[in-house]
A and B are shown apart, each in its own frame.
Chain A
Amino acid sequence: MVPLSWYLILSAVLFCLGAAAFLIKRNIITIFMAIELMLNGVNLSFVAFAAHLHKLSGHVFVFFVMVVAAAEAAVGLAIIIAVFRSRETLNVDRVNLLKL
């Protein structure tokens, strides 16, 4: 039986990797993937706790997160395509038309 703390540590590592990638990377698709990574890191701790406590609510939360993430991915990718068509770049630092 793998102890709970291992799951939690893995979850934290995944979340931190996602956060770090979000902060460091400039490619918008990578940033998008980093967000997914953070979400899934959290999902992992949800299911770990759910299994540990024998409660279903953790699983339900995970499904919600997955559904919302899927919807968000659809909208986000559409935006990315639109941005790429007009700006011809995926670098977020160059998508700065609204800045002073």
Chain B
Amino acid sequence: MVPAQPAVTAPPATLAEPAPASARQPAVAATPQSVGVDTSTPTDVAGLGRLRAVGFIAPALVLIGVFLVFPALWTLYIGATNFRLTGVAARTPDFVGLDNYRRALSDPSFYRSLWLTLLFVFGSAVIGQNGLGFVFAWGLRGARRWVRRTAESLVLLAWILPSSVVAFLWIALLERDDGTLNELLGRAPGVPWLVRYPMLGIIVFNIWRGTAFSMMLYSAALSAVPPSHLETARLAGSSTAQTLRDVVLPHIRRYALSNTLLITLWTFNDFSPFLLTAGGPNHGSETTPVYIYNTAIVGGQMGYSGAISLLVLLINLLLALVYLRAARTSRRLSGG
């Protein structure tokens, strides 16, 4: 969740309800934002001077250094050793150079986990949360205030409950014997949903869980669409599809981009599927974060999983750069 944070700079200050986003962010995370703003200003508006400005942000930088940069370098180091959780290699790990990386790049399990992660991200975040979030936001736009509030609260509830609690509820729902869903369907030998459809299970779970964020963001974005434009479109007799495409979309393009990147990164690194399936059956839902955990903690191969973690970091970085580039293009297009 933290990694995507700096990207929050993208949605302008018109965000009506920034509160939910901040619930996922530690206080430290505010810093990169201000850094971005400061340095993009050509003159020293605040009159602080370079030295004092540095002093101002130093505490935050120290925190970032201790909690973010240092662990990253540490991971880089671990990834270059044969460090294990137990055994001789736990006491005296050897330096193995790039062996772990070579192994990871020829490891079918790693590629399988990347593929499953891709499915998971695409299905649950890019399509699922994005789409459903927008549908909710659009659908509730004109609803009565209490209907809207009630619906939003329910969606939010799915988001703010602790993962462990939610996972337990979902297991109870999807359990083969005496699971709620099987009882409702009246299946005598119940369907083991999470065993038979593990990926579908965690995708639906994650849509249910994370739609709130997209909904909040889109309802804020939709309030930025000038009502006069919508009215004009209506008078011109445009269909809903046409209105969405030609009037709404241009206004919310940047929100959509920010939202997609945020939820992509969150979902990419999401560990909660583990609580439902533990990566099973037979690695059938072992997304990359789960694969890293299973390799490191269950398999005890700390060094190897350190190497995979670093590869994942690079992939995250790549996603973020794609976003930054897209954000820049979109800003240029919208004249910002």
- Indicate, yes or no, whether A interacts with B: no
**Residues of A bordering B, CB below 8 Å:** none
